[in-house]
Amino acid sequence: MYIKRQMENIVLQSSNTFPALLLTGPRQSGKSTLLRHLAETSRTYVTLDDPAIRDLANRSPDLFFQIYKPPLILDEVQYAPQLFPYIKMIIDERNENGLFWMTGSQLFEMMRNVQESLAGRVSLLNLYGFSQAEKENRMVSAFPPPIEELIKAKTTVPMKDVDETFRIIWQGSMPRLNTQIDISTDIFYSSYVQTYLERDVKFITNVSDEGQFLRFICLIAARTAQELNLSDLSKELGVATKTCRRWLDILIMTGLVFEMPAYSGNLSDRLIKRPKIYFMDTGLACYLTGWSDIKALQASTYSGAIFETWVVSEILKSWWYNGKRPQFTYYRDRLLKEIDLIIPRNMQILPFEIKKSTSPSHAMKSFPAIEKLNAEVGFGGVLSMSPNLLPISEKSWMIPVSLL
């Protein structure tokens, strides 16, 4: 079963205006499925997961392109870096748009090849698992949309209760888990982690102790929506801090984790500088932290962090899937005034608190702290499991997470 992706129009627009597009994202997020669906029979599909094809591409790129002629879908292009100079030559010679559709992980070496060979010739797009809106066959704007759009959506989008919301969080966003009802989440995520370690991680770097690296991933999952403290992680694992940083970069490059920087303003001496870490798939985070029961997860101390993680990942997807690059931050000062999410837009900062409660109180108590910053404060509010869409003040609203 194919579920329509919000990025379909962005992919087609990019193909009409660039000679190449590169769709990056984590394993199993639906990259090749999306491109093959849009291409139908109009272009040849080639996967570099195939060892024989990968060997040909790296050993003899010119012969490769004699056999496989554009327009092409090149799946997992990071496995054949030798192709990039030839892709550039073909693009420059033919001077046509839409010649190459590529998928891959956003690895440093691959992105360097793209920047060196295809600068100005390639559209870079990000795809992760299904958004809540995609599963409900809705198209949404980059959050926050105009308030009129939220008011209209409130009349058509069913409000989810706490139990249903946590079922969605626990299941995660991976396409296979959401299109094959009878699949076991434990078996799926166990296989996912094993394949990730054996394929993606070994391709990037030589991790001498896979057990330690897996433990590191589990510790990051347990710290989702928290400030990153590499020193604490290194002590707990018994490895160097720079090793933890390198391992975290691998998780970021392969799309498992998003690193949100702290807000930096003209009161920087009063601000906390550490970034926060978010797992991009809450189902995988729940699996790695051992939550096999939805009710137990919902009642746990972990529930607030995993709820915030899910909300942030949904908002990130609303930007990426509209072809926009998010530059989100969070605010925390040394007086422990904290705002979960700050979105810059049109020379304003838009502050949002994220609360698991159905009736959050005092959720905006830290908002006055950002009025001292050298920035205009725009529309903001509280994202919660309340079913009500209501104004709290002139610029701030209570927003149900069901509308994301």
Partners of 21 in beta bridges: 101, 123
Q: Is the pLDDT of residue 31 over 60?
A: yes
Question: What percent of the chain clears pLDDT 90, i.e. is strictly above it?
Answer: 77
pLDDT at 161 over 70: yes
Rounded to the nearest 10°, the torsion over CA 119, 143, 350, 157 is 180
Superfamily of domain 8-126: P-loop containing nucleotide triphosphate hydrolases (3.40.50.300)
* pLDDT tens digits, 112-156: 778 788 889 999 999 999 999 999 999 999 999 999 999 999 999
Q: Token digits for 193?
A: 């982690």
Measured distance CA(133)–CA(164) in Å, rounded: 15
Cis peptide preceding 71, ω within 30 of 0: yes
Q: What does the pLDDT read at residue 107?
A: 66
User: Is the per-residue pLDDT at 279 higher than 80?
Assistant: yes
What is the CA angle 21-26-30, rounded to 5? Answer: 70
Per the model's pLDDT, the better-predicted residue between 49 and 168 turns out to be 168
Phi, psi of 57 (to 5 degrees): -60, -40
Instruction: Tell me the whole-structure pTM to 2 decimals.
Output: 0.94
Of 84, 78, 35, give the one whose Cα is nearest residue 64: 84
Does 110 score more than 80 pLDDT?
no
- Please write the tens of the pLDDT for every residue from 317-357: 999 999 999 999 999 888 888 999 999 999 899 999 999 99
57 confidence band (pLDDT: 50, 70, 90): very high
Pairwise CA distance, residues 76 & 83, whole Å: 12
* pLDDT for the residue numbered 267: 53
Q: How confident is the model at residue 370 (pLDDT cuts 50, 70, 90)?
A: confident
Tell which wins on pLDDT, 72 or 104.
72
Q: In the chain, what are the domain boundaries? A: 8-126, 132-403
E strand map for 234-320:
257-260, 276-279
- Supply the pLDDT for residue 109: 66
**pLDDT grade, residue 18 (50/70/90)?**
very high
Answer whether 136's CB lies under 8 Å from 150's CB: no
> Mean pLDDT across the chain, nearest whole number?
92
In the beta sheet, which residues pair with residue 343? 350
Model confidence at 269: pLDDT above 60: no
pLDDT value of residue 117: 82
Q: What is the model's pLDDT at position 372?
A: 79
Segment 193-231, tens digit of pLDDT: 998 887 777 766 667 678 899 999 999 999 999 999 999
